[in-house]
Amino acid sequence: MIVYHLDSSEWVSKLMEDHALVQSRTLVLNQGIAGIVYCFLDGKKNICYMDEFFTSTYKEKEVNQISKEEIHAQIYYKMQLEQVQRNRA
């Protein structure tokens, strides 16, 4: 099983194409900020997640101080790690 990210428009197109069910994952960034990442399983059982981090309005200012590249890297790492743990279970 492969984990890959898509930008929001690609994610929605792929979601509609695969008629998949949307799931959410709660992730905590290394800075201690929690947020939600939306994902689904495609037809090949790969995890596709939207490359967006949704957090509360109370934490938006803190999230905006982190570079998009850093957020992207942390989300990618945490989604991959979660998948490795699921495969071992």
pLDDT digit string (tens) for the chain, length 89 residues = 789 899 999 999 999 999 999 999 999 999 999 999 999 998 888 899 999 999 999 999 999 999 999 999 999 999 999 888 888 87
Domain boundaries, the chain: 3-88
Spatial neighbors of 33 by CB under 8 A, at least 6 apart, are 55, 59, 62, 63
pLDDT at 25: 95
What 19-27 contacts at long range (C-beta under 8 Å, 24+ apart), as own/partner pairs, is 20/48, 25/49, 25/79, 25/82, 27/53, 27/74, 27/75, 27/78, 27/79
Spatial neighbors of 41 by CB under 8 A, at least 6 apart, are 20, 21, 23, 47, 48
